[in-house]
Amino acid sequence: MDSIKRLFDFPYYQQKTYPLTHSLVTKYDGQWKATSTQEYIDKANAMSRGLMELGVGPNDKVAIISMNNRTEWNICDIGILQLGAQDVPIYPTISEDDYQYVLEHSESKYCFVSCTEVLEKINKIRDKVPTLKGVYSFDQIQGCPNWQEVLDMGMKADTQEEVEKIKAGVKEDDLATIIYTSGTTGRPKGVMLTHKNIVSNALNSSERVPVEFGKSKALSFLPVCHIYERMLLYMYQFTGVSIHFAESLETISDNLKEVKPDVMTAVPRLLEKVYDKIYAKGADLTGIKKKLFFWAVELGLKYEPYGQNGWWYEKQLGLANKLIFSKWREALGGELKVIASGSAALQPRLARVFTAAQIPIMEGYGLTETSPVVSVNDQRNKGFRIGTVGKAIADTEVKIASDGEILIKGPQVMVGYYKDPEKTAEVLKDGYFHTGDIGELDADGFLKITDRKKEMFKTSGGKYVSPQLIENAMKQSRFIEQIMVVGEGEKMPAALIQPNFEFIHDWNERKNKNLSDDPAELVKSEVLIKRIQKEVDHFNERFGKWEQVKKFELTPDIWSIEDGHLTPTMKMKRRAIKQKYQHLYDRIYER
């Protein structure tokens, strides 16, 4: 382990410790194609030599923009880092304007793109980025040089000795990457992470993942341009886990059955969708099968870890696992030991029901600025507590400030924001990183996130409201897909709600409500508004009078990244949503 100081040390460590025939596996034209550890290293070295031929050297920036996770990404990554250069991963679906900003701000010299869709965006702004010398694509695209040309240049070049010299000069405290965070407001900020930041996080996080080193398989589909999935790819390389890249979000269920992974990562939105699909299938059953299904679900929703519910519950759960939950496991490949969930709050009911079904969901917490993991649950050694994000990983100090803000100190904390000393000084002070999140630590060291500091607001009556707590509760309703609680400076809290159109369509058919299938008509339906009011009333009971959602309006659109409702990590852009539905907001407050 001491031999791993820089990110490009991971594949070499794997080759020495667990050489794999299937180190990186991607599907091309319906066929899974494996790259061995040795081949991975050889290609990464060819990439380094090719880039050197193109004039890339220490501290140059190279952008990578890919629509999906794939072997090429990792080869480019290691090839770039071995030259002491930095890569700049860019989220593919941001606007052309943001592409231009990130490429200009980072002064990227070259750019690797996955496909036509990304290339078209790049071509529109290419002339406005003076530093950009060339663009290469992973897919074969007419009129665009292929990434293979850079590899071929490297194959011909006899300069490995020079690459080794540069590699030896790269230190753990050197900058490895700049990751631009998609802020919920304003321009993206470039988070500067060193080799040590990410290496320490991968090594310390590996202690929390119950996989068999050298023998397990992972399915990777969360965007690798985010530090969460990327750090995990290094961690998988360290633990000898064979990485399979899912084709897309649409094919995830097929890929799970084909790959049968032991481990995967997810965001709560995906887990909610999986659960809703399973639930809908159960609702379509009849007779005794239906009764058994809902008995098992009800049982799962009461789950407490470590046998806290007593022997009779455990006995029933054993039966439920045999009769019902075994089918859930099969649908997810049948081998999953753990799903690591991050990026947003996980509803406790999902953690309960999936873990009861022997598909443990372990929720963690982190930020791009902390490379990212700060804390994570672990079923072993009583390290799992539902409703928390687990205990801090090794070498990490979590402190709660007097106003409830979570402060972090540890080797994973970024060095700052690129070319932005002012914003850096705002968050790095007194030796701690100030997260902007509000939370609490219990006596056993489990961390609980309660809100975003910036998102809490006061009503005109001077009462504080934590929107996230209310939203997370109400999103448990199957009628509600997205909800944003509003009311800053107003006399009462209210909400903008995006209904779950898919579920409502099924409900409409099941209950013969004769509602329109046109979302614009549907959101005006008194029948639906009344039914959602019932859901809101039910969840309101959990909150103080001043926090309860007194009114709501339904939106006819599906909130998406493309339409500017959500950031690439699926967080709500509150200001943008409010602006978009200003007319509904005004109606709520009778303006």
Question: Per-residue pLDDT tens for 461-483?
Answer: 888 888 988 998 899 899 999 99
Task: Using a pLDDT cut of 70, give the percent of the chain over it.
Answer: 99
Q: Is the pLDDT of residue 557 over 60?
A: yes
User: Quick one: pLDDT at residue 570?
Assistant: 78
pLDDT band at 450 (very low <50, low <70, confident <90, very high): confident
For residues 132 and 111, the answer to whether their CB atoms sit within 8 Å is yes
Q: CATH 3.30.300.30 residue ranges in the chain?
A: 457-589
Question: What average pLDDT does the segment 85-97 reach?
Answer: 92
Going by their DSSP bridges, the two strands 61-65 and 551-554 should be labelled as unpaired
Scanning 190-251, the segments in alpha helix (DSSP H) are: 195-206, 227-239
Amino acid at 510: R
Question: What average pLDDT does the segment 334-359 reach?
Answer: 93
User: Taking the domain 8-263, which CATH number applies?
Assistant: 3.40.50.12780
pLDDT band at 2 (very low <50, low <70, confident <90, very high): low
Q: Report the alpha-carbon distance of residue 5 to residue 59 in Å, rounded.
A: 18
Q: Report the alpha-carbon distance of residue 233 to residue 225 in Å, rounded.
A: 11
Q: Report the alpha-carbon distance of residue 50 to residue 39 in Å, rounded.
A: 16
Q: Is the pLDDT of residue 93 over 90?
A: no
Q: CATH 3.40.50.12780 residue ranges in the chain?
A: 8-263
Instruction: For tokens 């980072």, name the residue.
Output: 106
Q: Report the alpha-carbon distance of residue 533 to residue 518 in Å, rounded.
A: 20
With vertex at residue 85, the alpha carbon angle to CA 79 and CA 90, rounded to the nearest 5 degrees, is 80
Q: Which of 319, 391, 389, 408 is nearest to 356 (CA)?
A: 319
For residues 378 and 384, the answer to whether their CB atoms sit within 8 Å is yes
Q: Is the pLDDT of residue 184 over 60?
A: no
Question: What average pLDDT does the segment 166-174 reach?
Answer: 98
E strand or H helix at 451, and its extent?
A: strand 447-452
pLDDT for 245-291, tens place per residue? 999 888 998 999 999 999 999 988 789 889 988 988 998 999 999 99
Yes or no: is domain 457-589 CATH 3.30.300.30?
Answer: yes
Residue ranges of E strands in 284-400: 338-341, 361-366, 373-376, 391-392, 397-400
For residues 163 and 45, the answer to whether their CB atoms sit within 8 Å is yes
What's the predicted TM-score (pTM) here?
Answer: 0.88
User: Quick one: pLDDT at residue 95?
Assistant: 84
Q: Which of 375, 452, 437, 374 is nearest to 400 (CA)?
A: 437
SS3 category, 356: helix
The set of residues, in sequence order, having a beta carbon less than 8 Å from that of 364 and lying 6+ positions away, is: 208, 340, 341, 342, 373, 374, 375, 376, 377, 389, 390
Sign of the torsion angle spanned by Cα atoms 482, 302, 345, 406: positive
Question: What average pLDDT does the segment 128-142 reach?
Answer: 97
User: Quick one: pLDDT at residue 381?
Assistant: 94
Residue ranges of E strands in 168-311: 175-181, 189-194, 217-220, 242-245, 263-266
User: Quick one: pLDDT at residue 273?
Assistant: 83
User: Quick one: pLDDT at residue 185?
Assistant: 58
Amino acid at 565: H
C-alpha 277, offset from chain centre: 21
pLDDT band at 420 (very low <50, low <70, confident <90, very high): very high
Instruction: For tokens 């049982």, name the residue.
Output: 299
Question: What average pLDDT does the segment 380-392 reach?
Answer: 96
Q: Report the alpha-carbon distance of residue 465 to residue 189 in Å, rounded.
A: 28
For residues 223 and 233, the answer to whether their CB atoms sit within 8 Å is no
For residues 321 and 358, the answer to whether their CB atoms sit within 8 Å is yes
User: Quick one: pLDDT at residue 247?
Assistant: 94
Tokens of 339: 């799903």
pLDDT band at 587 (very low <50, low <70, confident <90, very high): very high
SS3 category, 352: helix
With vertex at residue 449, the alpha carbon angle to CA 448 and CA 452, rounded to the nearest 5 degrees, is 165
Q: Report the alpha-carbon distance of residue 232 to residue 209 in Å, rounded.
A: 10
SS3 category, 331: helix
E strand or H helix at 87, and its extent?
A: strand 86-89
SS3 category, 562: coil
pLDDT for 50-66, tens place per residue? 999 999 999 999 999 99
Instruction: Give the Cβ contact number of residue 173 at 10 Å.
Output: 11
Q: Which of 175, 193, 183 is nearest to 413 (CA)?
A: 193
pLDDT band at 183 (very low <50, low <70, confident <90, very high): low
Q: How high does pLDDT run on average in the chain?
A: 94
User: Quick one: pLDDT at residue 1?
Assistant: 59
